[in-house]
Homo-oligomer: A and B are copies of this chain.
């Protein structure tokens, strides 16, 4: 096992009808900004519940945080927080709203010239953040239980990462019934996202971290078991509850503690989203199977473990077992309605050239757990994804 430092102070309040509990979790005298995305939070009644639960507290609302939240939009929220002197943020939504709120929390008291510098420093220059809570409506990214965020700069088509212990949510409300009105597409994306988060921290090379491996395998098995039900049965409490908790567990630091991590699929995927607005999870579904195929030598021992423990594949020679496990991964994504080929999104060699150019420009030239995924290797991976 590698050395590690694990810290995660986010309180998780899990279950049906838990939104009302924010009344006890937010300071009585807090002056609050509620941040959310589009119409759905209003339509499904969550915002009404939130307003009631806030009681006599003064609050304002900021609507319009987009999928892949942008610096440009978020700076307007920062202006509101500063102008009105607000001191508590409440994110109502999924990963985009939560990530956006983390940026607003960090940017409000930022001392530098331009809060974009926070992204340039990967969050290391955050010294103060506005405390915030989360009402999760879309399980997928795990942002509700970690201290990282991905922010997009529209002007330059750049996706950048911010991470700071100061942006752990103080609490996150996870009510599985809040997912009942989500479209199947978003749920399928959520499953693929949580699955890929787990794989990025699990499918590298062995370091005898037995608990982390078993937990990761348990998360993958759970996603495989519940995936079809989550996508096809809108009001099934148990499958939604399991999805919600699995997605949080997939990126709350636990399975990544003391093990090598990959994340190349994410970094390559980010460029596809920034350039072509393909849903984040779909970019992962495009990149991951090809990456596993091409990186099989460095990942051999863990791929065989993945085949055996997650997919129950124990017959055949090593490469056959690896091939079948990768094929099953691809089929699992496809079974949820998520296409796994660039060509199915209308992209070809030109797109690959552009992605490689962007990766190079953003310094993403040494990716993966061995830092050996150069732009040339990224190109091969994308070509295998055509």
Contact = CB atoms under 8 A, between A and B. Distances in A.
Contact of A217 (B6, B16, B214): B214
Given A9-B9, A218-B217, A218-B218, A211 B242 contact: yes
Contacts of A11: 5-7
Interface residues of A, number: 40
Contacts of A213: 218
A13 interface: yes
A221 interface: yes
Nearest to A172: B6
Nearest to A2: B15
Contacts of A222: 210-211, 214
A28 interface: no
Contacts of A215: 214-215, 218
Contacts of A225: 210
Contacts of A214: 214-215, 217-219, 221-222
Which among A9, A211, A226, A258 has the highest number of chain B CB atoms within 10 Å?
A211
Given A221-B214, A222-B214, A6 B1 contact: no
A238 interface: yes
Nearest to A5: B13
Interface of A: 1-16, 18, 208-211, 213-215, 217-219, 221-222, 225-226, 238, 241-242, 245-246, 249, 254, 257-258
